[in-house]
Structure 1
Amino acid sequence: MNARIANRIKIAPGFWTSLRGIGIEPIDVARQAGLPMTVINGPDVSTAQYYAIWQAYSELSVDVAAGIVKLATSYETAHYPPAVLATFHALDFRDALNRMVRYKQMCPPESLRIREEGSQCLIELEWQHPEQPGPPVLVGITLAYLLELGRRGTGHYLSACSVEFVHPIGDVQALEDYFGCRVKTGTDRNRLILNRDDLNRPFVSYNEELLDILTPALDRSLAEHNGRRTIIDHVKWILLRCLTRGRIDIHTVAGELGMSGRTLQRRLTDEGASFTQLISQTRHEQALVYLADMSLEIKEVAFLVGYEDQNSFYRAFRSWEGETPANWRTAQEYRRPPLVTD
């Protein structure tokens, strides 16, 4: 199993406090999720439990969108964990967002990608384990909080340019009222698009002294977190995010890791792997995950794992499994236990 999948997730106490503040008891969330009460005060939870908690919150809300807006606006600054506190006291909105992207690495299962293009700033939410996507309410909360951070930090009621969600998200009008822009669903990514000029707005909550204390401690924690992962883990994580780009070379991945292609290959060799081997392994693992989803056509699976044409995917799959993708999928159907009905 990938080491990242085994990660435990720490839920900040402020989350449970905020639930009480909007009239939802943590014990009711735990019951709705089918989890023991110990998850409320426990040190951490598994990824499956984390998703179950968010799904339970969604089900206890009147509407998914309403639940997103209510929780995002009610979370008190005093309850922010250290990593989030460092973003709230950043120099400006750009600094805050960059800190959020950086420290998100320590907070699976989601990750953020940010880039500035023209007059816009695009922030995409991706899952550190694409085969384990989180519930829509978690996507909404994550994107809503980024805008909320800008509003609270700058003291201005900022509006987004647009927001995109892969899955249905409840009352879209409620979200459009909150984000101040059009909200699209059924897109190919979860994305928040901001006005680039807003990133230059200074934070009225800027606290240089506090950042001097928090930043070194958080950077040490991030270094320790990343140090526990092998270079193979790092490379496979990047490959998972880049498969749909098609052809991926070692220099591109090495650049994201801040090293040369030669250094990366040497480090992979030290761990008994090669870049080509990891691409094939990552594509193989993801192909099996996608093929298990009967809603995806095989040509879609081929694209999702980085093949420009279906024939190349078929040849690769035969080398992995000794049969065609269609035959493998059919075999999995036969192996599934029969549905038990009353």
Structure 2
Amino acid sequence: MKSHTADRIKIPPGFWIGLRQLGMAPHDVARKARLPLTIVTEPVVTAAQYFAIWQAYSDLIGDTADGIIKLATIYETAQYPPTVLATYYARDYRDALNRMARYKQMCPPESLRITEEGEHCTIELEWLHTEQAGPPLLVGITLAFLLELGRRGTGQPLKARVVEFSQSMGDVQALEAYFGCPIRMDAKCNRLTLHRSDLDRPFVTYNEELLEILTPVLDRSLYEQHSSRSITEMAKWILKRSLTGGRPDIRIVAKELGMSNRTLQRRLTNENTSFKHVLTQARHEQALEYLADPSLDIKEVAFLIGYEDQNSFYRAFRLWEGETPTNWRTEHLGTNPLAE
């Protein structure tokens, strides 16, 4: 799904201020991006322009890792937009991350998927409503800001467990020193893994009064943005981010949409569908997308769309497509699938 708002991205003034602090002229970035110089004063840009600006910064700074670390550390908290600034007033690191993921929905093109399991908390970066992947430096700076959020909020030099990137990020040793953990390149996704125990750390920046002011305003803006879109498509998008390893229930989706279970059910009914049907659609669409990737075996695809056993996935897929996942892959890829 792609909406009008998805291609209108706000660049916070703090970005340009940060570049100046690094000794880089914003107009030089605009020229490198082959964009009008007036882009520096434009509050809203398209996704293509947004990516071009980040790529230009990356090209001018030289090493990707250097660009990530410098901007992440020099960027002043006070320069963040309200959607991000509100996270610094959170009660603890977990609350801050959840607020970040929630309000990121208003700030395309990237989105965050948070999963807590065992001793780990993983935060995976995904691209929202766009087929184009962002520049490597933008990926790196997004994950760096998430760790920076914890460090500044708790006042502690927190370290990640591991950071995974799908592309090369330049000086790996510099990144390992910054994140305080191993860095993996050429991974299947872009993901930051934290120590789950760190999420319980209280924020020294916690401000209940400011949260009481900001939260209703941001929630209302988020609700209005959701209201302008099909609730079916929004629910499906959330489900696709939540399928891995289990069956998400309606409470998860309703909570992320900022509404009650009953309200979500009613709005889906008004759009002539149901939660069960939307869940099935999400699984079906994700299954086809994953099967188109020959690096994923069938068992892994089943897990990624929420089936604990492969047989259940096979039965569901036969209902959807009238054939087995293996045969579908063979027909559509024109090659033999990987051994299952």
TM-score, normalization: structure 2?
0.78
1:218 deviation in Å? Answer: 1.6
Distance 1:132 1:144, change over 3 A: same
Distance in 1 (CA, whole Å) between partners of 2:264 and 2:212 is 33
Q: Does 2:156 match 1:156?
A: yes
What SS does structure 2 have at the residue aligned with 1:55?
helix
- The question of whether the paired residues in 1 share the 8 Å contact of 2:166 and 2:187 is answered with yes
Letter in 1 for 2:158: L
Q: Deviations over 1:130-173 (max 9, x none)?
A: 63322221111111011111111222211111111122211111
Distance 1:312 1:28, change over 3 A: farther
Letter in 1 for 2:229: R
1:49 deviation in Å? Answer: 1.5
Q: Does 2:54 match 1:54?
A: yes
Distance 1:92 1:325, change over 3 A: closer
Distance 1:60 1:311, change over 3 A: farther
Distance in 1 (CA, whole Å) between partners of 2:206 and 2:314 is 52
Distance in 1 (CA, whole Å) between partners of 2:81 and 2:128 is 21
The corresponding residue for 1:231 is 231
- The question of whether the paired residues in 1 share the 8 Å contact of 2:6 and 2:128 is answered with no
**Higher mean Cα deviation, 117-126 or 303-312?**
303-312
1:26 deviation in Å? Answer: 1.5
Q: Does 2:40 match 1:40?
A: yes
Distance in 2 (CA, whole Å) between partners of 1:194 and 1:57 is 28
Distance in 1 (CA, whole Å) between partners of 2:25 and 2:318 is 51
Distance in 2 (CA, whole Å) between partners of 1:5 and 1:169 is 30
- The question of whether the paired residues in 2 share the 8 Å contact of 1:131 and 1:286 is answered with no
The corresponding residue for 1:210 is 210
The corresponding residue for 1:241 is 241
The corresponding residue for 2:125 is 125
**Higher mean Cα deviation, 14-23 or 126-135?**
126-135
Distance in 2 (CA, whole Å) between partners of 1:216 and 1:268 is 24
Distance in 2 (CA, whole Å) between partners of 1:59 and 1:31 is 12
- The count of aligned residue pairs is 320
Matches within 5 A, 1:256-275: 256-258=253-255, 267-272=267-272
TM-score, normalization: structure 1?
0.77
**Higher mean Cα deviation, 234-243 or 134-143?**
234-243
The corresponding residue for 2:182 is 182
Distance in 2 (CA, whole Å) between partners of 1:311 and 1:201 is 45
Q: Deviations over 1:79-125 (max 9, x none)?
A: 12112221112222222222212211211111112233233222222
Distance in 2 (CA, whole Å) between partners of 1:59 and 1:149 is 26
The corresponding residue for 2:191 is 191
Letter in 2 for 1:170: G
Distance in 1 (CA, whole Å) between partners of 2:12 and 2:184 is 30
Matches within 5 A, 1:126-141: 126-129=126-129, 131-141=131-141
**Higher mean Cα deviation, 210-219 or 157-166?**
210-219
- The question of whether the paired residues in 1 share the 8 Å contact of 2:290 and 2:296 is answered with no
Distance 1:225 1:205, change over 3 A: same
**Higher mean Cα deviation, 119-128 or 54-63?**
119-128
Q: Does 2:73 match 1:73?
A: yes
Q: Deviations over 1:38-57 (max 9, x none)?
A: 32211311112211211221
- The question of whether the paired residues in 2 share the 8 Å contact of 1:2 and 1:233 is answered with no
Distance in 2 (CA, whole Å) between partners of 1:198 and 1:284 is 35
**Superposition CA RMSD, Å:** 3.7
Distance in 2 (CA, whole Å) between partners of 1:135 and 1:9 is 15
Matches within 5 A, 1:6-25: 6-25=6-25
Distance in 2 (CA, whole Å) between partners of 1:63 and 1:317 is 47
What SS does structure 2 have at the residue aligned with 1:137?
helix
- The question of whether the paired residues in 2 share the 8 Å contact of 1:254 and 1:264 is answered with no
- The question of whether the paired residues in 2 share the 8 Å contact of 1:54 and 1:135 is answered with yes
What SS does structure 2 have at the residue aligned with 1:257?
helix
Distance 1:130 1:297, change over 3 A: farther
What SS does structure 1 have at the residue aligned with 2:44?
coil
The corresponding residue for 2:28 is 28
Distance 1:77 1:176, change over 3 A: same
- The question of whether the paired residues in 2 share the 8 Å contact of 1:113 and 1:125 is answered with yes
Distance in 2 (CA, whole Å) between partners of 1:149 and 1:284 is 34
**Higher mean Cα deviation, 149-158 or 266-275?**
266-275
Q: Deviations over 1:167-188 (max 9, x none)?
A: 2211111110100111111222
Distance 1:219 1:180, change over 3 A: same
1:22 deviation in Å? Answer: 0.7
Distance in 2 (CA, whole Å) between partners of 1:215 and 1:138 is 27
The corresponding residue for 1:340 is none
What SS does structure 2 have at the residue aligned with 1:163?
strand
Q: Deviations over 1:314-341 (max 9, x none)?
A: 997799xxxx8888889xxxxxxxxxxx
Q: Give % identity.
A: 55
